[in-house]
Structure 1
Amino acid sequence: MHVEFPDKRYYKIGEVAKAFNVNTSLIRFWEKEFDIIKPKKNAKGNRLFTPKDISNFKLIFNLVKERGFTLEGAKQKLKKNPESTFDKYEIITRLESVKAELIKIKNQL
Structure 2
Amino acid sequence: MPYKKPKIEKVFYTIGEVADMFQVNTSHIRFWEKEFDILKPQKNKKGNRLFTKEDIENIKLIYHLVKERGLTLKGAKQKLKDNKEDTLNKHELVDRLKSIKHMLLEIQAKMDES
Whether these two folds match at TM > 0.5 is yes
Residue type of the partner of 1:18? Answer: D
Counterparts of 1:98 and 1:5, CA distance in 2: 20
Distance 1:99 1:88 in 2: 16
Residue ranges of structure 1 left out of the alignment (5+ in a row): none
Q: Which residue is equivalent to 1:95?
A: 97
Distance 2:51 2:59 in 1: 10
Cα RMSD of the aligned pairs, angstroms, is: 1.4
Aligned sequence identity (%): 61
Structure 2: 5+ residue stretches without partners: none
Instruction: Tell me which residue corresponds to 1:29.
Output: 31
TM-score (norm 2): 0.87
Q: 1:74 aligns with which of 73, 76, 81?
A: 76
CA-CA distance at 1:105 after TM superposition: 3.7
Report the secondary structure of 1:81's partner residue.
Answer: helix
Cα contact 1:2–1:96 (8 A) shared by 2 = no
> How many aligned positions are there?
109
**What is the Cα deviation at residue 2 of structure 1?**
5.2
Higher RCO (Cα < 8 Å, 6 or more apart): 1
What is the letter of the counterpart of residue 55 of structure 2?
A: D
8 A Cα contact 1:13 1:47, kept in partner = yes
TM-score (norm 1): 0.91
Structure-2 separation of matches of 1:51 and 1:96: 21
